[in-house]
Amino acid sequence: MWRLDNYASTMTGSQRVQTTAASVSDETLRRLVSDAGTLSTTAIGLIEASHAWFRELAPEDRSWVGLVAQAGIGSFIAWLRDPSPTKVVQADVFGTAPRELTRSISLSRTLDLVRSVVDVVEEDAGALAAPGDEQALREAVLRYSREIAFAAAQVYAQAAETRGAWDARLEALVVDAVLRGEADDSLRSRAAALGWDAVHHVTVVAGANPRVAGGPRGDSTSTIDTLRKAADQHSVELLAGVQGRRLVLILGDTSQPAQVADLLAAHFGDGPIVLGPTVPHLFAAGRSARAALSGLGAARAWPQAPRVVSAAALLPERVLAGDDHARRALVDRVHRPLAEAGGALLLTAETYLAEATLEHTARVLFVHPNTVRYRLTRIAQVCGLDLTDPRAAYTAQVALALGRLAVPQAASWRSPR
């Protein structure tokens, strides 16, 4: 590259300011200082004309961008006066803008701004520079633009690190609040900071932590980062938390959480992965979390359970583990609808579960087998359980027993015979 020291050795006349990039005269510096305001205005005009995203910014952000452009030109002039290699341009240029600006303007857009300012100075180099300084000024601009680009990258890297650490703490607080069933103002503000205030169709998923206690430090962060990348590939919002041997995910904006859990199953440890019910938003996710954690604790009572299983499918096991919510759910979903449906559906269900065959049930009830078939079909329609399926029959048996316990003793006792 053409260098300042080569160029400076050919120059004569007025005193020059030496830099590692170029050598410009005091006259050129005076002209730059005099025209700094015009250069800033021209640069902002070029940015507005060239980049549609700048016109879409909020007025406050546009004003900050203008200040950054002005600071860039002012810092360039100061750099020409004091071209020390250790001079830091980051604080001079970007120190005027708030940290929040990095959320509104990406690094690539910031580089577009730098490029626009450089273009303006390069185009006006002929008019700005004293005679003979044109080439030196252009090279100084190019060298300084490199320094600005590196400074911008550093600003965004620091902002990303800070934001990442802060977001990780916020995420952990939000997950903990959901698991505790809290839905107060603090959860709302933290969810809004993470962009979850407008996320719908939320499901809590619980499973085993693939990296149990005793593993290397930092494994939790690695696990969550891997899960987040996998969720991004499927356009699913995700919050995650590791609590000892347990890994908890909060999925958002998905109407098919079971399929998403299947895709993410490889990132869990061995054992079942339990899905809570889908709720409208994050502030109702405590109900989903309670069911998912209850199901995870009770799942070992059903050894044949699928790898990814809903908490609703584990209602009998959750009842055995002492979950009152599961007990009420089974009564409400099975016993009460059958009792209210009439047509002897409840009696037929109890008899069929006791006799185990259609013919024996028909003889006990003194009806035709086709009547029993019809009633079994109606039972499946009313409570969603096909009593000819062993798992459904077991669920119904537990539910009917709970229903009998839920009503007064005299009213609940009767012999099907």
Does residue 187 sit within a domain?
no
Q: Domain boundary residue among 295, 315, 335?
A: 315
Selection from 308, 273, 270 nearest residue 293 by Cα: 273
Q: Domain boundary at 297, 315, 333, which? A: 315
Exposure string over 229-259, b if 16+ CB within 10 A, otherwise e: ebbeeeebbbbbbbeeebbbbbbbebeebbe
Tell me the C-alpha distance between 326 and 312, whole Å: 8
Give the domain range for residue 288. Answer: 199-315
- In this structure, are 362 and 406 located in the same domain? yes
Amino acid identity at 178: V
271 shares its domain with 405: no
Note whether 286 and 382 are same-domain residues.
no
Tokens of 269: 């440890």
Q: Is residue 188 part of a domain?
A: no
**Helix or strand (DSSP H, E) at 7:** helix 4-8
How many whole angstroms separate alpha carbon 299 and alpha carbon 294?
Answer: 9
Residue 367 · residue 329 · CB < 8 Å: no
Q: Is the pLDDT of residue 270 over 80?
A: yes
Residue 152 is assigned to a structural domain of this protein: yes
Domain presence at residue 13: yes
pLDDT at site 135: 81
For residue 191, tell me if it sits in a domain: no
> Looking at residue 159, what is its pLDDT?
59
Identify whether residues 367 and 267 lie together within a single domain: no
pLDDT on residue 277: 96
286 and 395, same structural domain?
no
Query: Is 189 part of a structural domain of the chain?
Result: no
Q: Is residue 367 within 8 Å of residue 416, measured between CB atoms?
A: no
Residue 230 lies in a domain: yes
Share of the chain above pLDDT 70, in %: 79
CATH code: domain of residue 350: 1.10.10.2840
Q: Are 243 and 280 found together in one domain?
A: yes
pLDDT tens figures, 69-89 = 777 777 777 777 775 554 445
Of 132, 161, 190, which residue sits at a domain end? 161
Pair of tokens at residue 192: 């809004």
Closest CA to 279 of 179, 187, 206, 202: 202
The b/e string for 106-125 (b: 16+ C-beta within 10 A; e otherwise) is ebeebbbbbebbbbbbeebb
- The reply to whether 168 falls in a domain is no
Give, for 218, the enclosing helix (H) or strand (E). Answer: none
Q: Out of 92-101, 189-198, 350-359, 393-402, which region has the weakest mean confidence (pLDDT)? A: 92-101
State the CATH number of the domain containing residue 282.
3.30.70.2730
Separation between Cα atoms, residue 172 and residue 167, nearest integer Å? 9
Handedness of CA 274, 276, 282, 285 (dihedral sign): negative
Tokens representing 265?
Answer: 């199953």
Residues 232, 283, single domain; the answer is yes
Beta strands, E only, 106-208: 200-208
Q: Do residues 332 and 301 touch, judged by C-beta distance below 8 A?
A: no
| CA 35 to chain centroid | 47
Cα distances (Å, whole numbers) of residue 163 to 138, 154, 303, 306, 409: 37, 14, 43, 39, 61
Q: Output the pLDDT for position 383.
A: 94
Same-domain check for residues 24 and 157 = yes
The verdict on 144 and 281 lying in the same domain is: no
Angle at 334 between CA 332 and CA 337, to 5 degrees: 75
Structure tokens at 23: 């050598």
In terms of domains, do 256 and 122 share one?
Answer: no
- pLDDT tens digits for range 30-43: 888 888 788 778 87
Query: Measured between alpha carbons, how far is residue 150 from residues 63, 137, 145 in Å?
Result: 23, 20, 9
User: How many independent structural domains does the chain possess?
Assistant: 3
Residue with tokens 């900071």: 193
Residue range 138-182, pLDDT digits in tens: 778 777 777 777 776 666 666 555 555 556 778 888 888 898 888
Q: Does residue 301 share a domain with residue 334?
A: no
Residues 370, 229 share a domain = no
- Mean pLDDT across the stretch 357-386? 94
pLDDT at position 3 is 31
